[in-house]
């Protein structure tokens, strides 16, 4: 995940969040989503953050889409692991 942090830093800055590697790791660890929860619908985003994510996904900007998808995967990591254990 080390390479991902470089790109995540920019995303976290755009979202107005602490963008240090430690803060990103903590955020991801503390905000794991259930398998059926959409990244956009996550309850921890404020309205501005949610709109930013929606806009970047809808514009189909490859750079942002990849980074947002990486965040989505990281936030669903525990749910995916649980489903694979079943």
HSE-up of residue 84 (Cα within 13 Å, Cβ side): 6
Q: Specify the pLDDT at position 7.
A: 85
pTM of the model: 0.85
Report the chain (86 residues): mean pLDDT per 10 consecutive residues: 64 96 96 95 97 88 86 94 79
Identify the architecture of domain 2-85 in CATH.
Answer: Orthogonal Bundle (1.10)
Residue 27 in contact with residue 17, Cβ under 8 Å?
yes
Q: Specify the pLDDT at position 2.
A: 42
Q: Specify the pLDDT at position 83.
A: 82
C-alpha dihedral over 45, 48, 49, 51, to 10 degrees? 110
**Residue 39: closest CA among 27, 50, 26:** 50
Q: Specify the pLDDT at position 71.
A: 96
Fill in the DSSP letter of residue 43.
T
């Amino acid at each position: 995940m080390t390479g991902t942090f470089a790109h995540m830093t920019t995303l976290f800055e755009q979202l107005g969040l602490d963008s240090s590697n430690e803060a990103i790791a903590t955020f991801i660890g503390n905000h794991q989503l259930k398998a059926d929860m959409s990244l956009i619908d996550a309850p921890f985003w404020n309205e501005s953050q949610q709109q930013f994510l929606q806009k970047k996904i809808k514009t189909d900007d490859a750079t942002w889409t990849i980074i947002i998808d990486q965040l989505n995967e990281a936030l669903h990591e525990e749910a995916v692991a649980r489903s694979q254990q079943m």
